[in-house]
């Protein structure tokens, strides 16, 4: 998917990029590839693959769950790595107030420079483990929307993310193909943590065999205070 095809595909979903936004995506690609020469950010480096598997992939939740996204809402991206999905979403919806949580300082250093180069405002970068941030009163149950992409299985991911979601807010997980089993095994965790599965959507990225699953979860009650448990515990002893 070259940049022109990217623009064309977005327009099919009623997203018409301005010249500024086109330039921001181009700068994003250039900065990602340049930084990746000395900091391990991504294995995907071809322009057509970055536009498809990073940029377009990140924006799919806007197509599928568009009614969840509102102007000026707060969004927390857990384990964003090189900024996916939150930075592409922020480029499309500049009014969003974004908080990015990542445990690796090198990635946040890249993101700090990127945010400046792209001229983005209302982006906060938080260095820490999701388990610790979820117990911090500054962030706990403070976000309208929390996203995560390819971070962990649904049981573990729910414990990372749902404590950050406001009651009546949403958690969107961007998963790989056929996430049905994960969703089944994650039902107990969702219930315990205050979440309810609203919708899951399987899709294939354009002109490829890249399959994805988008999962939309609503926070219907507050998360018990004991969650998230201390760093490392959700993976070692997942909720069953």
What domains, with CATH codes, occur in the chain? 69-236 (3.40.50.150)
The confidence band for 184, taking pLDDT boundaries of 50, 70 and 90, is confident
- pLDDT confidence band for 152 (50 / 70 / 90): confident
Q: Is 91 helix (H, G, I), strand (E, B) or coil?
A: helix
Tell me the pLDDT tens digit for each residue of 107-116. Answer: 999 999 999 9
Both tokens of 185, joined, read 């095994």
The reply, when asked if residue 66 is annotated as ligand binding, is no
Which of 11, 22, 158, 9 has its CA nearest to residue 78? 158
Residue 84 counted as an annotated binding residue: yes
Cα 165 to Cα 228: distance, rounded to the nearest angstrom: 12
202 is in an annotated binding site: no
Q: Has residue 178 got a pLDDT over 90?
A: no
* Rounded-to-integer distance, Cα 201 and Cα 205, Å: 13
Closest CA to 200 of 223, 236, 235, 171: 171
**pTM for the complete prediction?**
0.95
Any binding-site annotation on 159? Answer: no
Strand order in the sheet with 211-219: 123-127, 97-102, 74-78, 143-149, 165-175, 211-219, 195-204
The answer to whether residue 150 scores a pLDDT higher than 80 is no
Digit-coded pLDDT (tens) for 8-29: 999 999 999 999 999 999 999 9
């Amino acid at each position: 998917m070259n940049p022109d095809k990217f623009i064309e595909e977005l327009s099919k979903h009623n997203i018409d990029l301005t010249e500024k936004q086109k330039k921001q995506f181009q700068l994003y690609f250039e900065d990602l590839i340049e930084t990746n020469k000395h900091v391990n950010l991504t294995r995907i480096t071809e322009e057509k693959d970055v536009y498809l598997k990073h940029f377009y992939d990140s924006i799919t939740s806007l197509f599928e769950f568009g009614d969840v996204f509102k102007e000026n809402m707060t969004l927390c991206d857990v384990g964003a790595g090189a900024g996916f999905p939150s930075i592409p979403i922020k480029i499309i919806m500049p009014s969003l107030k974004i908080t990015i949580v990542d445990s690796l300082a090198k990635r946040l250093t890249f993101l700090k420079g990127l945010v400046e180069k792209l001229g983005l405002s209302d982006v906060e970068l938080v260095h820490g483990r999701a388990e610790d941030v979820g117990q911090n009163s500054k962030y706990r149950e403070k976000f309208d929307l929390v996203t995560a992409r390819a971070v962990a299985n649904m049981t573990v991911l729910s414990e990372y993310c749902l404590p950050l979601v406001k009651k009546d807010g949403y958690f969107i997980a961007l998963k790989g193909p056929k996430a049905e089993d994960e969703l089944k095994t994650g039902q107990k965790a969702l219930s315990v943590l205050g979440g309810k599965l609203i919708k899951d959507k399987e899709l294939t990225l354009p002109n490829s065999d890249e399959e994805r699953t988008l999962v939309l979860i609503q926070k219907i009650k507050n998360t018990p205070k004991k969650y998230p448990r201390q760093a490392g515990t959700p993976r070692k002893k997942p909720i069953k």
